[in-house]
Every structure is written in C-alpha cells, then in structure tokens.
Chain A
Amino acid sequence: MNIINILEEIEKVDGEVYERLSPRRAAMKQFYSFGSKVAVAAVPLALGSMFKKAYGQSTSTVLDVLNFALTLEYLEYNFYQTGLNTAGLIPAGTPAVAAITTIRDHELAHVNLLKGAITASGGTPVAFTAANFDYTAKGTFPTVFTNYPTFLAVAQAFEDTGVRAYKGQAPSLMSAPDVLQTALQIHSVEARHASHIRQMRKAPAGGGVTALKPWITGANDSGVPQVDAVYKGEDNVVQAGVNIPSLGVSTAAATESFDEFLVKADVLAIASLFIRS
C-alpha cells in the first residue's frame, strides 16, 4: 500500500486534501523524503513525525548527505592526487597514469560540485586536505604509496565503498529530485571507476589478481581480508523478496547482478580508518 499515492490521488479530486491534513501543504510534501514504506498501523505515527520533519529538518537532511558525500570525495581525490605525486608509484609510460589521472579529475570535479551545491543551499561544506588523511589506515596498509598493487587494492576499496555509499543515501534525497539525480550521476561514475580499477588489478603489474572481475562476486572478492567491511552483505541473493538463483542464474551471478548499499554509519566506520583524529 502506498499512502503517498493515495494522498496524491485524492488531491486530484479534492485539491485541498493536504490542507485538511495539515495547515501547511508543504508539510505533506515532506512526507516524500520518508519513502513510502509505512505500515498501515504506523500511519498516524508517521503523520506525526512528518510534521516534525516539515519544520526545517528536510533541508538539513539533504545537506547532511551532501557533506557526507563530500567527505568521501575528498578522501578519494587526495588519495589519487598523492598517488600521482609519488614518483615511481604508478608505472610511468603506461596507460595506468592516464587512468588514475582521469579518476582523480572526476573526484576533484565531484568535490567542487558538492562544495558548490552545499554553499548554494546555505550550508557549510566540510573541508579536508591531504594532511587530514592517513591512507595507511593506521598502519594496515603501510606500503600504500610505495607498492603499486597495494595502492590499487586500496583504490578498489574506496571505489566500491563509494558506490555503496551513494546508493544507500538515495532514499534520503527523494525530497530533492534534482539533487537525487546528480547523486545518481556521480554514483554510476564511481562504479565505472571501480570496474576499471578491478581490471587494473588483474594485470601482472597491478598485482595479477586474476580471479577478480569488474563486478563484485560474493562477499569480499578483493583478496584483501582487511577490507571485509567494504563488502559486507554483497553476497545477498534475495532482492525484494525474490530469490535470484531461483530465476535460473548461478549464486555467483546473483550476487554480481545486484550491487548492495551501505548505510551511512558503516561507510563512516570505513572512512574513519583513513581520517586522522
């Protein structure tokens, strides 16, 4: 059942239905940011929380998401920038330099886009520099900028995390359709990056992780047990109650064909490993 559709449809017959429910039509519209998954019995409660949301919290929700995304983009941008600035890390004279440069450029563009969007919405963008990050993850990856395969392994973790992070925030942006679309347009670029980085890791110079695919197979296919948290739940094979292998594909294909999301807390737990306190 979908209470939002119901209210919308009633509105077409009775243009003042929102006013009946609330003195502020806008308050009802805030209900969108809620998603529509509200149990029948929970409707009165949901209506109550909706009014709380209507008084100023929706904008801050969107700004929170944007600043969360900006944090991740700073993490990625400074990572690639440091890598490119480290002589001898990325094999000179190979396509790897252009690939990492392309990805670095996209992350910088995302940083600038998000900063601008936050400022334009009256928010204050978070600010990070390379000095704020510890890409060894407190010593877990001591060779991140001296060993090329390690650099790529961490890059893969960042890209796959980025994809999952944007995906998880999409419902929080439903009240702001344009922002949602922009986030989706970033989301798929991160997935393109992830696909390419995975291919780079398969090459002998990149570590020769030949079992790796451009898509995620099962839980943590990266070959790096330290990043288990990045792939938590990626082995899920049930989508919207439908068991995907029962449709006639292998379990591996079932996990590959749907990328899973991560909630904000899980993403922040991963990112915080790389942020100096």
Chain B
Amino acid sequence: MIFSAVCHAKDSYNIYLTEPTIKFKTIYLMKNFQQEDQEVLHKESGILTARLQRRSFLQYAGAGAAGVALLAAGCKKDDGSEGLRLGGVNLGSGDVGILNYAYALEQLEAAFYDAVVKTPYASISATELSLLTDIRDHELAHREFFKKALGANAIIGLEVNFKSINFADRTSVLATAKAFEDLGVSAYNGAGKLIKSADYLVLAGKIVSVEARHAALIRDLIENGTFANAEVVDSNGLDKARTPKEVLTIAQSFITTVINASNLPS
C-alpha cells in the first residue's frame, strides 16, 4: 500500500491511498464503524459472517483503524502547506467530498460578493446595493453553514483570484455574478445524484433554488427578461447540470488554491 496524506487544516486531516483506492474508503468506513457502529456489527454479525469469516473481517478492520491513527498522528503538526504541494486541497470522497465541493463554490461566491459590497461599482443604485448585499449575506450563510456542518472534514479557506474583475465597473461585476450564479446552479444540479444521504440532498436542494433566484435576478439586472433564457434553459425546459470536473475547470480560474477533486464520486 502506498500512503499519502493531505493535511487540510491544523486540526483536521484527510487521507488517501494512491493504490488501491478501495482501501482508502475502507479506512473511513472502519473509522465510522468504530465510533458509532459497533452495535450494528454485533447485531448483524450473523448475516455478515455467513460466508465471510468474522475473524478475517475484523482483522481487516483493525488494519484500517491503525492506518488512520498513524496518518492522523503524522498530520497533527502540519500547517497545510505540505498538503498543497502534494496535489492541492483534497475535497475528499463520498458525501464529505461533495459537501466540500459545495463549500469551495460558496467560498468563491461569498468572497466575490463581499468585495462587491465593500467596494460598490460607480453610481450603484440603492436598490441594486440592497439586492447585492442580500446575496452576499446568503452566500455567507451558505459558506459558514458548510464550514460548520463539515467540522474537522472542512477544507481550508481558499485563496481567490479576482484579477480579471473590475469591481468599479457594473458590467464587469454583474457579468461575473451571472457566471458564478449560473455555474452554481449547474453545479448543484449535477451533484445531486452523487449525494448518498437524503438529508444532504435536500440541503443541496434548499440552496440551489436560492442560487437560481439569484441567477434570475442578476440576469434581469443585466437585461430584463433574461432570467431563464435559452442560454441556460434548453428546449425541454431544463436548467443546466454540470459535473464537478466541468464546474471546477471553470471555477479554478478564479481560485489560486489548487483544488483536487479526484476522490469525488462520479
């Protein structure tokens, strides 16, 4: 087994095996198992071991748990920079990976609107400033929610790159806002089927419709009536859906920190 570790924050870590990837997930699994699911193992041991010997199963579990402990210890003193050199910020796998993916996008949006509201474009109307401030608050709520919900699994704060945006210019700001909102909608639409937990799916649903409300408003500010035009809604009446890879390829040009999405479900 070849181990490598990415330390995301001072108090958190993420691990993966370059090969075989199967066993990485098993380590996660067994970690959960140990913390919460020993009872299940007991109760279900009858069926679980019908043909798979209980002893070999538990040996496997033990190996995985030991691996976690080893790598966790190795990460404790890390400040995160080592992990970045090893291949960027790793979003992780499974639902945690998808939540980190959403967290990354919300970080990007929140940082953007924060800058918009702090240095509004020339002669902004009170109405537009109020609407953009609302959106800033929503993205802040989303970002902080994901951070809190992910806890120790949360990725680090990303460094953004807004060099291409002219914050003094309404056209530049609204065009970027439109791109971010449409991208966000397509990201959540494409990620829904990758989520395993019904609770997280509903949460993503609660957020994506708010992003769609933003997208429509921003589009209407640019040109009234373009809230759902053919650029974003096809002849079947469907909004866009993009894979994480497609989304991150677009988003990465606004993010300095390299994002490693290789362990996300697909």
B189 within 8 A of A: yes
Question: Which of A4, A6, A113, A188 has its CB near the most chain B CB atoms (within 10 A)?
Answer: A188
Question: If the complex has contacts A12-B25, A185-B238, are A257 and B188 also in contact, measured as CB distance less than 8 A?
Answer: no
A188 touches B239 (CB 8 A): yes
Question: Is B212 touching A191 in the complex (CB atoms < 8 A)?
Answer: yes
* B227-242 with Cβ < 8 A to chain A: 227-229, 232-233, 235-241
* A187 pairs with B205, CB closer than 8 A: yes
Report if A184-B212 is in contact (Cβ < 8 Å); known contacts: A5-B94, A6-B37, A171-B202.
Answer: no
Contact of A247 among B94, B145, B212 (CB under 8 A): B145
Contact with A along B150-190 (1 / 0, CB 8 A): 00000000000000000000000000000000000100111
Check B202–A185 contact: CB distance below 8 A: no
- Partner of B198 from the list A43, A171, A254, A258 (CB cut-off 8 Å) is A171
* Chain B 61-100 interface 0/1 with A at a Cβ cutoff of 8 Å (1 = within): 0000000000000000000000000000000001000000
Q: Are A253 and B205 in contact (CB under 8 A)?
A: no
Q: Mark A7-23, 1 if CB is under 8 A from B, else 0.
A: 00110111011001100
Question: Which residues between 1 and 43 of chain B lie within 8 Å of chain A, taking CB atoms?
Answer: 22, 25-26, 29, 32-33, 36-37, 39-40, 43
Is there contact, CB below 8 Å, between B145 and A185?
Answer: no
Known: A192-B239, A195-B212, A247-B141. A20 touches B37 (CB 8 A): no
User: How distant is the Cα of A238 from the Cα of B198 in the complex, in angstroms?
Assistant: 17
Least CB distance, B202 to chain A, in whole angstroms: 6
- Closest-by-CB residue of A relative to B192 is A184
Contacts of B144 in A (CB 8 A): 247-249
The stretch among A34-42, A131-139, A267-275 that forms the contact with chain B is: A34-42
Question: Which one of A147-155, A175-183, A223-231 is at the interface?
Answer: A175-183
Contact assessment for B196 and A240 in the assembled complex, using a CB-CB cutoff below 8 Å: no
In whole angstroms, what is the CA distance A37 to B40 when docked? 14
Q: Which residues of B contact A106 (CB under 8 A)?
A: 228, 233, 237
Inter-chain contact B220/A258, CB cutoff 8 Å: no
Closest to A243 in B: B148
Where chain A touches its partner, the secondary structure class is: helix
8 A Cβ contacts from B91-129 to A: 94
Give chain B's interface residues, CB within 8 Å of chain A. Answer: 22, 25-26, 29, 32-33, 36-37, 39-40, 43-44, 47-48, 50-52, 60, 94, 131, 134, 137-142, 144-145, 148-149, 185, 188-190, 192-193, 196-199, 201-203, 205-217, 220, 224-225, 227-229, 232-233, 235-241
Interface residues of A (CB under 8 A from B): 1-6, 9-10, 12-14, 16-17, 20-21, 32, 34-37, 40, 43-44, 95, 98-99, 102-103, 105-110, 112-113, 163, 166-168, 170-171, 174, 177-178, 180-182, 184-196, 199, 213-215, 239-240, 242, 244, 247-250, 253-254, 256-261
| CB-defined A-B contacts under 8 Å, sample of 7 | A4-B196, A5-B29, A21-B47, A167-B205, A192-B213, A196-B227, A250-B137
